[in-house]
Amino acid sequence: MLPKYASYASTVAAISVAVAGPASAANFVPFVLQAVGGGSNSEGLGINDSDQIVGSSDTATGALEAVLYDGSTSSLTLTLAGTALQDLGGGDVSEALGINASGQIVGYSGREAVLWSASSLTGTTLQNVGGFISRALGINASGQIVGFSNTATGGTVAVLWSSNGTGMRLQDVGGGDDSRALGINEKGQIVGLSGQEAVLWSASTLTGMALQNVSGAGFSQANAINDSGQIVGASLTANGGQEAVLWSSSTDMPTNLAAFLGSDWSNTEATAINDSGDIVGFGSFKGSEATGFLLIPTLGAPAPVPEPSTRVLALLGFGALGLVGYRQTRRMNQAA
C-alpha cells in the first residue's frame, strides 16, 4: 500500500530555495507549531490560503488531539500556539487533515469522520457509510468532502460526503475490497484508489475510471488533483520500488516523474499539486530514508526525451528541489 500521509520535521533555520531556470529565489522563514495540552509533538497536515493550519498534537496524557493554528499572526519567537478542536469520537485520537477557504475542517475523532468549524472549534460527525470506522481526508470550497469508511469485514469503501454530513459510496472500480477517496478539486473531480488501480471519480455521477499504470505496474494510487485536472500519485515498479506519477484527467495518460527528478532519486511518490502545476512529494535521495521534493514546471528548461507514455509533459520541463523531511506513515487501524 502506498500510504497517504506525509509529515515533515521542523527545521529552525531559514531555507533558501532556488528555482531551476531564470535566476530567482524565495526565502522561507520556519515557524514551529507548538503542541497543546502539555504534549511535545505536533504535525501540520493542511493549510488554506488564509494560512489557517490544521494538524494534530499529542498531550501530556498521551492522547492525540486535532488542532487549529493561525499562521496569519506574527510571532517574534517564530512559534504558533494551537487550539484543540472538539473531541467528538469519545476516544483519545483525533486529527485534522484538511481545511478549505471557508474554514471548514475535516478529519476524524475516534472512529468517526468529522467536519469542524474554524470559527467555533466545534464539529459534527459525518455519516458512517461503511458501518465501522470513517476518515475524512479532503474538502473543496463547495463543502464536498472525500474519504473512506472501514467496513466490519475489514474492507474500505470510498465515500463522498456533503457538508450536511450525508455520505454516498463511490463506485468500486478496481475490484477487491479496498477503495479510498484521497483528494477532490473545485470541479468535483475525485481521486484515490480502488483495488490495485488509481482512480478518477465524478462527484456528480459517483462513477469512476481507472487511470493507466506506468509500465504495466501492478499497483497505483492517485493522491491529489488540481483544478486543471492534473493528478499526482505513485505506481509500483516491476522491481518492487515506486515512482511518482503525473496523470491528465482528460487523457488518463501517465507520466513517470522519475525521469525529471534524476538518478539520485528512488522510491518516489507525488502527494500534492497546486493550480500552477507545482508538485510536492518525497522519496529516497542519495540513499536517504525520506526526503521531500518540489517539482516546478519551467518553460524552456531542459527535460529528458519523453517516452510514449510521457507525452503529457512533452513541452514541459521540470526543475527539481529537495526539501529534507521525515515521512511518517499513518494507517487507519492505528487510530481505531
Segment 234-244, tens digit of pLDDT: 999 888 889 99
Q: How many CA atoms lie within 13 A of 68 on its CB side?
A: 26
How many other C-beta atoms are found inside a 10 Å radius of the C-beta of residue 32? Answer: 14
What is residue 230's predicted lDDT score, i.e. its pLDDT? Answer: 94
Residue 34: Cβ-neighbour burial (10 angstroms; 0-12, 13-18, 19+): middle
Looking at the whole model, is its pTM more than 0.75? Answer: yes
Please check whether residue 47 lies inside any domain of the structure.
yes
How many other C-beta atoms are found inside a 10 Å radius of the C-beta of residue 60? Answer: 11
Least confident of 100-114, 161-175, 214-228: 214-228
Domain count along the chain: 1
User: What is the rounded average pLDDT of the residues 93-106?
Assistant: 94
In this predicted structure, the answer to whether residue 57 has a pLDDT above a threshold of 50 is yes
**SS3 label, residue 89:** coil
C-alpha cell at 104: 471548514
Q: State the residue for C-alpha cell 454516498.
A: 168
Q: Which residue has the higher pLDDT, 25 or 258?
A: 258
C-alpha distances in Å from residue 216, one per residue of 56, 119, 219: 38, 47, 9
If you average pLDDT over each of 70-79, 188-197, 272-281, which comes out highest?
188-197
Could you tell me whether strands 64-70 and 82-84 are parallel, antiparallel, or unpaired per DSSP bridges?
antiparallel
Between CA 168 and CA 156 the distance in angstroms is 13
Please check whether residue 283 lies inside any domain of the structure.
no
208 phi and psi angles, rounded to 5 deg: -145, 170
What is residue 314's predicted lDDT score, i.e. its pLDDT? Answer: 26
Please check whether residue 224 lies inside any domain of the structure.
no
Between CA 298 and CA 287 the distance in angstroms is 27
What is residue 169's predicted lDDT score, i.e. its pLDDT? Answer: 94
C-alpha cell at 246: 503525473
pLDDT over 90 for what percent of the chain?
45
In this predicted structure, the answer to whether residue 332 has a pLDDT above a threshold of 90 is no
What is residue 66's predicted lDDT score, i.e. its pLDDT? Answer: 95
Could you tell me whether strands 156-161 and 145-151 are parallel, antiparallel, or unpaired per DSSP bridges?
antiparallel
What is residue 253's predicted lDDT score, i.e. its pLDDT? Answer: 81
Amino acid at 279: I
What's the pLDDT band for 29 if we cut at 50, 70, 90?
confident
Least confident of 191-205, 296-310, 314-328: 314-328
Please check whether residue 113 lies inside any domain of the structure.
yes
User: What is the rounded average pLDDT of the residues 61-76?
Assistant: 84
Q: State the residue for C-alpha cell 476516544.
A: 91
In this predicted structure, the answer to whether residue 321 has a pLDDT above a threshold of 80 is no
What is residue 301's predicted lDDT score, i.e. its pLDDT? Answer: 45
**Residue partners of 155: CB distance under 8 A and separation at least 6:** 130, 176, 177, 178
From the list 63, 70, 116, 67, the residue with the least C-alpha distance to 91 is 63
Least confident of 119-128, 156-165, 201-210, 312-321: 312-321
What is residue 217's predicted lDDT score, i.e. its pLDDT? Answer: 62
In this predicted structure, the answer to whether residue 159 has a pLDDT above a threshold of 90 is yes
Domain span including residue 80: 31-117
What is residue 10's predicted lDDT score, i.e. its pLDDT? Answer: 27
Please check whether residue 41 lies inside any domain of the structure.
yes
Please check whether residue 86 lies inside any domain of the structure.
yes
What is residue 210's predicted lDDT score, i.e. its pLDDT? Answer: 92
End-to-end CA distance of the chain: 18
Please check whether residue 67 lies inside any domain of the structure.
yes
User: What is the rounded average pLDDT of the residues 255-266?
Assistant: 89
What is residue 309's predicted lDDT score, i.e. its pLDDT? Answer: 31
What's the pLDDT band for 50 if we cut at 50, 70, 90?
confident
What's the pLDDT band for 19 if we cut at 50, 70, 90?
very low
What is residue 108's predicted lDDT score, i.e. its pLDDT? Answer: 95
C-alpha cell at 286: 542519495
Please check whether residue 194 lies inside any domain of the structure.
no
